[in-house]
Structures are given as structure tokens and as C-alpha cells.
Amino acid sequence: MSYSTIATTKQLLTSTFGNGLPVPPEVRAQGIHWVEFVSDSTQPLIPIILKAHESFAALKGLEGILAVAVSKERFGHAKDIKATVNCTHAALFPAMNYLSTVDGIPKWDPEMTKKIKIEDSDLNHVYNNVYRRMLTSYYRTKDGRFYHLHASLNATPTFDALGLPPYDEEKNERRAAQEVIERRTLTLTSDELEDMIKKIKQPGSLCQTREEFLASSYGKHVSSRPLFELQQLESTSPPLKLSSQGPNILSGVKILDLTRVIAGPVISRTLAEYGAQVIRVTSHNLPDQAYYAVDFNFGKRTVDLDLKSPEGRQVFENLLEEVDVIVDGYRGGAIARLGYGPHDLLKRFAGKRGFVYVKETCYGEGGEYSDRPGWQQIADSVSGVSWANGKAKGLEEPIAPPFPLADFGAGELGCIATLNALHHRMTKGGSFFTSVSLVKYNDWLFSCGTYPEQLWKSMVDAHGQESRELRRHSGPDDVGLVAINSIQRLNPNLREEPDFMFESGNTPFGVVRTQSPVVRVEPYKTAVQSWLNPPRPAGYDSGAEWVTI
């Protein structure tokens, strides 16, 4: 009997409802009937032994279910509204960066630097300096383990702690730079590296197996939690009222995007697909990754505000007066220290209005690691994904997974959690705090199981020699490019599939082609109807105010 990605997707979706998911009873009871899956296949697209293909299709199904729940509350319960999810398109949601083009140029092409000014936001020279960028990798330790260091948005603190120069212009070749760093990590045990990283409050993690993760107190905490957290902050503010005229599911909803890099911006980009008005707030004083603006600033306006200046705070507080959702992707407590955390907003809005506060982190709320910074690669290392990927290829070393699965997984969960919290606001009133994490997505991905041995063998064979040659020193982009190239070789007509790619011609970058919204809820959500703005760089818009639409 041939394998069915749709059948597996439905099984995963059904199982999520039995795992303490904090959704309304009617969604739990009826939701599975509100979504239809199309585009079955006998071989999953993403070359990893974990069921990433089906996990994203299932999450997109869950997104569709919550979107239908909000639609019914807004437009009338009698309406026969259903979501449709193309499983192939959903599986490539985390590959979005490898599919996007500007004026026909792929994002990894060197010519792209003429269109995206990466250096403008790379304030600490992490991405345009080979030596500093190579800090992000798996390194051997004195006790025979592997430890994942990360350059983060500033590599200097970790280089200083390692006793290495923060800059070495002679090491402008990748392997030479990695060898210098590994000579140093080989003089330290994994415990010594871990203590060092914790002391300087930089991202890093021991590469654990799945068994080691589950045996740890932190792993036990994460595995006991639902896919996303929901906490009611207050119950006195009135229900959220949205016009039954729409035209889209989230028309009229105002979202402040306080995020950087991947997972956080994915949350607000996906909510923007539903017609929400999103303003992304960044500061030229803080490092960022301009590379991702092409994909993740779809539907948004972007403003530059210094929240440490009186002028910037005043503008931001004016925006807060009408906000419905705040998406926070900064280090734990960073926004609260500025006076804009969820409990600060409770005091500010007391007796006036409710709100939803969405928190995205690497490690999640609670647990011993909750105050540590982290990235995609760190989540993969601590949860066991990196080891599982290496072992499945017959190696005794960790390897980065194809595509930033945990980043996009957490971003997708953040969209789902927001739709769920907005539904609670519409039906019950009040204010809600909801949170998602990269590690929790990875934990759930593991719980989805692995592919049958024969299916996995056929996937390895199909993706070819270049995929088999990947090793621990292969960077995430190397692994991603190998994966997308083999996926496109195996599916040559993929980009031409109806509704898969979306083109925006009127952008500051040029003609942008990127992945279209995966979930379709007709007639309330399509790419053309729902994205209010073409993508633009950070800080592009001069007016920092909500627009009457």
C-alpha cells in the first residue's frame, strides 16, 4: 500500500486536539470538518526522516480551522465556510526563502546584494564577514561531544569568551575559519562551553539526542506542554467587535510587529494574509537581517522608532492606543523593560480595551532555559533534531535540517495562537497572553514519528549524492540549497503550479515573487485580496499611524 501524505496529515491534525490544545470546545468538536486537504503524494518533499512535510500541512490545517472559527463568529455561523490546504504548498512553507526571487534573481545569488542592502542592518558585521559568520556551526569539544555556537547578531562576546580575536580578515575562507574556532573548542569540555555561554548570555547549546532531551528536566517540561500556551490576563474588557462587512477575516485588526529575523516576522506576515493591518517597528540602532524583508514584510508597513527616546516612545504609545495584537520576538523581558510588556499594557488599557500579546521565543515560557537567547540552530541542537538528521544519514555527527523548520514552525504556531486568542476576545472579551517556541515545534515534530524505513531509503536515493555528502560543517544555507535544488529537480513544474507563487511588481526591491498564502478560505482570504501592502525594507514608511481603510 502506497504512502499517503494527506492521510498522515489528517492523523497528525486529529492527534493535536487530544494534546491539551487550548482551543474552544466547538473548535475541538467540529474543527476537523472545516478543512479540506488536497495534493496527495506517495513521497514527502522535504528530505528529512522526521515528518516535516506532514507537520506543516497539519499546522496549516489547524490555521485554517481557527480562521474558519473567526469567520463564523464575524460573518455568521450559518455560513458554510471551509478552508482548503494544498499539502505540497504547505510542505514548502519553510522553504519560502529559497523560492523567492527579485526581478527573477534567487535570493542566494550574489547579484541580490544590489537589491537588498544587507550591510545596512548588519551593524556588527556578522553576515558580511566570513570569519565571524562561521562562529555559527557545530564544534567538537574536549570530551568528544558536539556543541553548537552561534554568531547571533553580534559575534564579539562569544569570540572574546573563547579567547579568539573578534575579527580575523586573513580567515576569509569558511573551512579555515571553522578550523581556528574548533582548535579552541577542542580545549574545552562541553560543560565548560555551556557554562561559558550561560555566563555571557549568548546563544549556544550542547547537541543532544532525543533521548537526552527527554531525560532532562527542561525536556520533560517542554514535552508536557501544549503546542502553544494561552493565559487570560483579564476578563472585564468587552468583546472585540469586527464589522460583518469584512471584507477579509481580519480586516480592521491592528497588529504591532516587534520582531526580528524569521519566526516572529512569519507570525505577522501570515496574519497579514487575512487582511490585518500590520506595522512592523524596528530601529536603525539595532542589528537585523535585511535579507528577509523581501519575504516577511509582505502586507506590512515598516517604521523606524527608537523606543529608548522620548520622541520614539510617544509615537509608539500613540500606536498602542488602537492596537489589537502585539507580537514580541525579542529576548525575554526586553520589551517589558521598556515598559510595554503584557502587564504594563494591562495597566495602560484598564477599563478601556482588551488586547492579545503574542510572545515568540526559542525555549518557551517556564522551564530552566526560558531566560536564555536562542535561534533555529540552537533549538535543533537542544531538542535532538540535528542528531536525528545526521544519524538518519548513517553518520555519527549532527547535521542541520533542510530549511529553518523550527523557525517557520514556531511562526506558524504563532499565527494559529493569535487567531485562537482573537476568537476568545470576540466571544468572551478580555485580554490574552499566548506564546510559542521553536523547541516546542521540534518536540512536536518528533512526536509525529519518522518515515517507514523503505520510504526513507527511497527518499535518500531520490535526493541524490549531493544530499548524502552534507556534513556538520555544511551551513544551514548549504543544506537548504541542496534540498531545494533536489526538490525542484524531482518536481520540475512546481513553481508553475496554480496559486503556488505570488508576484508583486510594485515594490522598492523590484518585482518580487514569493510563496502565496497556503490556506484558502473563500471568499474571505486570498493573496490578492488580503495583503494590504507590497513588501518593503525596514523603516521604509515615514508615517507611523494606523490608516483608515
- Is residue 99 located within the same domain as residue 127? no
Is residue 490 helix, strand or coil?
Answer: helix
- Is residue 383 located within the same domain as residue 293? yes
Of 322, 326, 323, 366, which is closest to residue 342 (Cα–Cα)? 326
pLDDT band at 487 (very low <50, low <70, confident <90, very high): very high
| pLDDT tens per residue across span 151-192 | 999 999 999 999 999 999 888 899 999 999 999 999 999 999
Distance between CA atoms of residues 8 and 13, nearest Å: 9
What confidence score (pLDDT) does residue 534 get? 93
Which CATH number belongs to the domain containing residue 400 in this structure? 3.40.50.10540
Give domain status of residue 538, yes or no.
Answer: no
Distance between CA atoms of residues 116 and 294, nearest Å: 8
Give domain status of residue 53, yes or no.
Answer: yes
- Is residue 20 located within the same domain as residue 159? no
Give domain status of residue 132, yes or no.
Answer: yes
What confidence score (pLDDT) does residue 113 get? 83
H-helix or E-strand spanning residue 480 = helix 476-490
What confidence score (pLDDT) does residue 170 get? 87
Average pLDDT over residues 85-110: 94
- Is residue 279 located within the same domain as residue 333? yes
Domain ranges, residue 200? 121-205
Q: What is the DSSP string of 403-448?
A: S-HHHHHHHHHHHHHHHHHHHHHHHH-SEEEEEEEHHHHHHHHHHT
| pLDDT tens per residue across span 267-297 | 999 999 999 999 999 999 999 988 899 999 9
| pLDDT greater than 80 at residue 373 | yes
Count of positions (residues) in the chain = 549
Give just the sign of the alpha carbon dihedral 204, 210, 214, 215: negative
Distance between CA atoms of residues 61 and 65, nearest Å: 6
Which CATH number belongs to the domain containing residue 155 in this structure? 3.30.1540
Last residue of one domain, picked from the residues 171, 205, 239: 205
pLDDT band at 527 (very low <50, low <70, confident <90, very high): low
Share of the chain above pLDDT 90, in %: 86
What confidence score (pLDDT) does residue 366 get? 87
Q: Any alpha helices (H) in 329-429, and if so which ranges? A: 334-337, 342-349, 376-383, 385-392, 405-428
- Is residue 180 located within the same domain as residue 288? no
Q: How far is CA 351 from CA 252, 254, 314, 317, in A?
A: 21, 19, 21, 17
pLDDT band at 102 (very low <50, low <70, confident <90, very high): very high
Widest distance between CA atoms in the chain:
68
Give the CA radius of gyration of the chain: 22
Beta bridge partner(s), residue 435: 229, 359
Distance between CA atoms of residues 193 and 481, nearest Å: 30
**For the chain, what is the domain count?**
2
Tell which wins on pLDDT, 169 or 433: 433
Share of the chain above pLDDT 70, in %: 99
Give domain status of residue 539, yes or no.
Answer: no
| pLDDT greater than 60 at residue 1 | no
What confidence score (pLDDT) does residue 78 get? 77
- Is residue 378 located within the same domain as residue 501? yes
In this structure, are residues 376 and 345 in contact, taking their beta carbons and an 8 Å threshold?
Answer: no
Grid cell digits, residue 423: 476568537
Burial 207-224 (b: 16+ CB within 10 A, else e): bbebeebbebebbebbbe
Give domain status of residue 542, yes or no.
Answer: no
Average pLDDT over residues 490-501: 92
What confidence score (pLDDT) does residue 151 get? 96
| pLDDT greater than 70 at residue 135 | yes
Distance between CA atoms of residues 13 and 62, nearest Å: 7
| pLDDT tens per residue across span 331-341 | 989 999 999 99
Distance between CA atoms of residues 24 and 69, nearest Å: 9
- Is residue 136 located within the same domain as residue 282? no
* CA–CA–CA angle 440, 446, 451 (5° rounding): 150
What confidence score (pLDDT) does residue 526 get? 67
- Is residue 193 located within the same domain as residue 50? no
Give domain status of residue 303, yes or no.
Answer: yes
Average pLDDT over residues 427-439: 98
- Is residue 365 located within the same domain as residue 481? yes
Average pLDDT over residues 66-87: 93
| pLDDT greater than 80 at residue 119 | no
What confidence score (pLDDT) does residue 89 get? 97
Give domain status of residue 212, yes or no.
Answer: no
- Is residue 312 located within the same domain as residue 420? yes
Last residue of one domain, picked from the residues 140, 173, 205: 205
Residue 37 phi/psi, 5° resolution?
-105, 140
| pLDDT greater than 90 at residue 120 | no
Distance between CA atoms of residues 526 and 498, nearest Å: 13
pLDDT band at 525 (very low <50, low <70, confident <90, very high): confident
- Is residue 308 located within the same domain as residue 413? yes
| pLDDT greater than 90 at residue 80 | no
What confidence score (pLDDT) does residue 529 get? 65
| pLDDT tens per residue across span 186-235 | 999 999 999 999 999 999 999 999 999 999 999 999 999 999 999 999 99
Give domain status of residue 412, yes or no.
Answer: yes
Is residue 537 helix, strand or coil?
Answer: coil
Secondary structure letter of residue 495 according to DSSP: G
Secondary structure letter of residue 138 according to DSSP: E
- Is residue 151 located within the same domain as residue 108? no
The pLDDT mean for the chain works out to: 94
Distance between CA atoms of residues 79 and 73, nearest Å: 10
Phi-psi category of 255—alpha, beta or left, where left has phi over 0 and alpha has psi -120 to 50?
beta
| pLDDT greater than 90 at residue 77 | no
| pLDDT greater than 80 at residue 19 | no
Grid cell digits, residue 500: 503556488
Q: How far is CA 374 from CA 144, 296, 362, 369, in A?
A: 23, 20, 5, 10
Q: Which of 97-111, 130-144, 306-320, 376-390 has the lowest mean pLDDT?
A: 97-111
What confidence score (pLDDT) does residue 543 get? 81
Last residue of one domain, picked from the residues 142, 175, 205: 205
pLDDT band at 345 (very low <50, low <70, confident <90, very high): very high
Average pLDDT over residues 414-436: 98
